Structure 1
């Protein structure tokens, strides 16, 4: 039997102020690149932060259909956990509003969230370590999340305009695993996805259970915990502790903590997650890896981190 400390309610304070937890500065885009356009940014499975940059925003043109972009050149600026930086030039990027992640061999993957916003009909592009495109394939429309795991497999979470759920692909474009038939209740939209090692954690609409997907290949084990925190945009897990970040209107900055029981997530605390200076992030990107939730606020030049395991 597990015992946890519980807070007692102060009857004189019906609506106590929420506890604020400040993000810790994690990675910063070097100042010499601040004049470029940030197309997207992420933190990979090894903890390196990456920015996909262009000198100017890509513009439609030529004889392409309305809204499509001609291929353009971009660069990835990487800030490694030891503070060193590297730059990789990518030639012929096609994705509009792209997702980005690093591949284990040092190359990169760029994917469009919508299949109708790419040229040449291929949604996902793989680049080698010197920035040359090596292959491309499509995974389906409405990509909300893209994360590469420690084995180099590619996880996609889809939103409800194309409710494919959660899928895992190889770098050759083969579908390795799908959430179809995985008995995840109410999976119409993958709200939150966290990939660490070869394990994925998710929180999905409509029921918002906490989902663990573990194993390799097609033989993957799925475990589900019921959960009372709705609308979370990121989830972090450390042992039996869980953190959910974000929510619907009025709860965008919510940080809800909980503990795993046999079948449920029991909430233990709720507060707010702020930028290091104490302000709310407003427009932001969020990437969760293991016990960490990384948050990047506009203008998207700095990452902060909340570490559940710290």
Structure 2
């Protein structure tokens, strides 16, 4: 099974430094382009860079994956080293990363490109994803879960302003979230797989949750549509984890039942050995390889 091309950063930006990229809840591929910057060897993505001074201005480039329309938005006075970005309703943009002294690590910029407010998101953010209804989900790693009260729930729901609305609490007899490995967000619902037991957690914005047993350990990507789920990476039934293994599952009331396994490749048949953290949006799973300028998609 092969990915298909989804969105490509236009060639006129090839000489510019990329700070972060994602695919948002509306299906738009987003790239944040900064000023002259120094490469950051501490991050996996080869495009990663850190601005040489703060504050700085940046350019947001969006490409509509469905029609290819390209748009630009200028952002002003960024006070953090951006590692993640996420589009919010109303033309707002959430930026996350280490803030300059006295600056929070999450900042929201308005439609005009200027900062409106900021908040502290908690330590060790693994995922920060919004839906189209002013819901913002944060998922955390173990350093945050065990070291920061803001991160201790493992999976947290905030409103579009960054205010805490809900945190996950496991039912009796179920292990607490240690680290979230894969997250999928669609309108009103988040799906997560987390260490140590890797159940498939369905969490709704009204606080209802459902846990399903899953045979897949340590998946890296997750897509869900109806009663079907696809997990990318990880291993099952004692098999060693592989980055290109695709697990197709059928969802019941309390279990994710294996249906088939396949090998996922890039569109040209090249092996899917290295890729950045996938972005799960309902029945779609987006990912890019060593270059952050090209996004690919898998649809359930």
TM (norm. structure 2) is 0.86
1:119/1:33 Cα in 2 relative to 1: closer, same or farther (>3 Å)? farther
Query: Residue 168 of structure 2 aligns with which residue?
Result: 179
CA distance in 2, matches of 1:179, 1:100: 23
CA distance in 2, matches of 1:154, 1:173: 8
Post-superposition offset of 1:68 = 9.8
Kindly provide the CA deviation profile for residues 277-307 of structure 1, in whole angstroms up to 9, marking residues without a partner as x. Answer: 1113414241000001001112111111000
Query: Residue 243 of structure 1 aligns with which residue?
Result: 230
Long gaps (5+) in structure 1? 1-20, 61-66
- Give the 3-state SS of the residue equivalent to 2:91 in structure 1: coil
Does the Cα contact within 8 Å between 1:72 and 1:91 map onto a contact in 2?
yes
Q: What is the alpha-carbon root mean square deviation over aligned residues? A: 2.1
Does the Cα contact within 8 Å between 2:35 and 2:56 map onto a contact in 1?
no
**Among candidates 130, 135, 145, match of residue 148 of structure 1:** 130
CA distance in 2, matches of 1:90, 1:257: 41
Task: State the structure with more CA Rg.
Answer: 1
CA distance in 2, matches of 1:209, 1:68: 42
Does the Cα contact within 8 Å between 2:80 and 2:103 map onto a contact in 1?
no
Does the Cα contact within 8 Å between 1:186 and 1:207 map onto a contact in 2?
no
Does the Cα contact within 8 Å between 1:68 and 1:118 map onto a contact in 2?
no
CA distance in 1, matches of 2:35, 2:213: 46
Query: Residue 33 of structure 1 aligns with which residue?
Result: 13
2:116 is aligned with 1:134? yes
Does the Cα contact within 8 Å between 2:37 and 2:52 map onto a contact in 1?
no
1:283/1:306 Cα in 2 relative to 1: closer, same or farther (>3 Å)? closer
**Among candidates 248, 259, 276, match of residue 257 of structure 1:** 248
Matches within 5 A, 1:19-30: 21-30=1-10
Post-superposition offset of 1:69 = 5.9
Deviation above 6 Å: which 4+ runs of structure 1? none
Query: Residue 188 of structure 2 aligns with which residue?
Result: 198
Does the Cα contact within 8 Å between 2:36 and 2:52 map onto a contact in 1?
no
CA distance in 2, matches of 1:190, 1:69: 33
CA distance in 1, matches of 2:244, 2:18: 23
Does the Cα contact within 8 Å between 1:69 and 1:118 map onto a contact in 2?
no
Q: How many pairs were matched up? A: 276
CA distance in 2, matches of 1:182, 1:39: 39
Long gaps (5+) in structure 2? 41-50, 146-151
TM (norm. structure 1) is 0.83
2:55 is aligned with 1:71? yes
**Among candidates 265, 268, 271, match of residue 280 of structure 1:** 271
Query: Residue 297 of structure 2 aligns with which residue?
Result: 305
Does the Cα contact within 8 Å between 1:53 and 1:77 map onto a contact in 2?
yes
- Give the 3-state SS of the residue equivalent to 1:105 in structure 2: helix
Post-superposition offset of 1:58 = 5.2
